[in-house]
Amino acid sequence: MRFPSVVIKINKSKYFQLAAIILLTTITSLPAVAKRSIIGNPNNVNLGLAGPVYNLGGGGTDVDSAIQWMVNQARGCTKCSNKVDVVIIRASGSDAYNEPIYQMNGVDSVETILINNRNDANAPNIIEKVKNAEVIFFAGGDQCKYVRNFQNTQLETAIESVSARGGAIGGTSAGAMIQSGIVYNACGRAVESRDALYDPYRNINFTYNFLPWSNLRNTIIDTHFDKRDRMGRLMTFIARQLQDKRAKSVLGIGISEQTSVVVDRNGNAKVMGRGPAYFVLGNHRPEVCERDKYLTYRDFKIWRVNSGDTFSLRNRPRKGYYLRSVERGRFNSNPY
């Protein structure tokens, strides 16, 4: 028995359009793969560490001597054969840190990993690399992306394990701000001093329990401090914690551009680089800290610590500070 021939005509244009749609859908549904760039020896050095230590950069040009300090503190020497692996973590940008840090003493390799989603922050190959590093450095950028993508992930656990082993954790600008015990996360509209002093609650949100460094408990770090006149907003951030009963005492750390605050394992902070750092203490409830009202807070204690000088985070000095107040959103005197 013979069947009649059947001819099927295919519209090639529509066929290729459909194939392209299927291919594009497949590609976009796949999880993003983190961008990675390494220079130096890819093998793990597996070195015993002498920290933990921290390097908090104020933004602008990095303080190379502070990064070298971090490397030396982790490896436990300044002139020895010990070498460390450095991992740069960033949410955007390039691998521009690789070459200059690789040229520093005691560095075996530098790898930049760009992580901008929670899938990558839980990827086993990335977690393994971070966990085996001796030094981790967060580039600047947007602290909201860091806390949203990294908090409560395996990446956060891996970073914490490096600190627990005695490693070094550093960062600049947003990469420094995420290391305080209380993080101004900037996940809303950008807020500067004038806005914050006018209304301590509008667009101001915080992230808690992110990176639990013991020497930075109940601290708030702010960067680009002098250039962007951020004393007012740091004072507001402190007042908020006291008003909301998050803590009984909060220390703000305001870091100038081209300046770093390095913190050793004993909680001793040293200022390095171009400018000063400001340590601002609030240890009583504000007089007025409410929505839609100007801030009033009397008698902040402020220590202005110049480059080369130190400040103990564990045993705060009992002298050397000056007092400043905010009355209805205005300073009673120059706070710097």
For the chain, give every domain's residue range.
34-174, 180-336
Confidence of residue 26 (pLDDT cuts 50, 70, 90): very low
Length of the chain: 336
pLDDT attached to residue 46:
84
Residue 319 predicted with pLDDT over 90: yes
39: tokens are 């220079």
pLDDT attached to residue 34:
83
Specify the higher pLDDT residue, 83 or 25. Answer: 83
Is 139 within 8 Å of 88 (Cβ atoms)? yes
The upper half-sphere exposure of residue 300, i.e. CA atoms within 13 Å in the direction of its Cβ, equals: 34
β-strand pairing of 135-138 with 84-90 = parallel
pLDDT attached to residue 300:
98
pLDDT attached to residue 144:
96
- Helix, strand, or coil here: 172? strand
Is 189 within 8 Å of 197 (Cβ atoms)? no
Confidence of residue 17 (pLDDT cuts 50, 70, 90): low
Confidence of residue 8 (pLDDT cuts 50, 70, 90): very low
176: tokens are 């420094």
Q: Tell me which CATH code domain 34-174 carries.
A: 3.40.50.880
Specify the higher pLDDT residue, 11 or 172. Answer: 172
Confidence of residue 9 (pLDDT cuts 50, 70, 90): very low
CA gap 172, 177 in Å, rounded:
8
CA gap 196, 119 in Å, rounded:
34
Predicted TM-score (pTM) of the model is 0.88
The percent of residues in the chain predicted with pLDDT above 90, rounded, is 86
Confidence of residue 68 (pLDDT cuts 50, 70, 90): very high
pLDDT attached to residue 142:
95
Is 220 within 8 Å of 252 (Cβ atoms)? yes
Taking residues 23-47, report their average pLDDT.
70
The angle, 0 to 180 degrees and rounded to 10, between the axes of the packed helices 143-150 and 154-164 is 100
- Helix, strand, or coil here: 269? strand
Residue 295 predicted with pLDDT over 90: yes
The percent of residues in the chain predicted with pLDDT above 70, rounded, is 90
Mean pLDDT of the chain: 91
pLDDT attached to residue 20:
43
Taking residues 259-266, report their average pLDDT.
97
Residues 186-210: tens digit of each pLDDT: 998 889 999 999 999 999 999 999 9
pLDDT attached to residue 132:
96
Residue 6 predicted with pLDDT over 50: no
Residue 33 predicted with pLDDT over 90: no
61: tokens are 């040009």
Is 112 within 8 Å of 37 (Cβ atoms)? yes
Specify the higher pLDDT residue, 160 or 21. Answer: 160
Among 8-22, 47-61, 73-87, 249-263, which stretch is predicted with the lowest mean pLDDT? 8-22
CA distances from 236 to 107, 195, 220, 225, 290 (A): 40, 10, 11, 14, 11
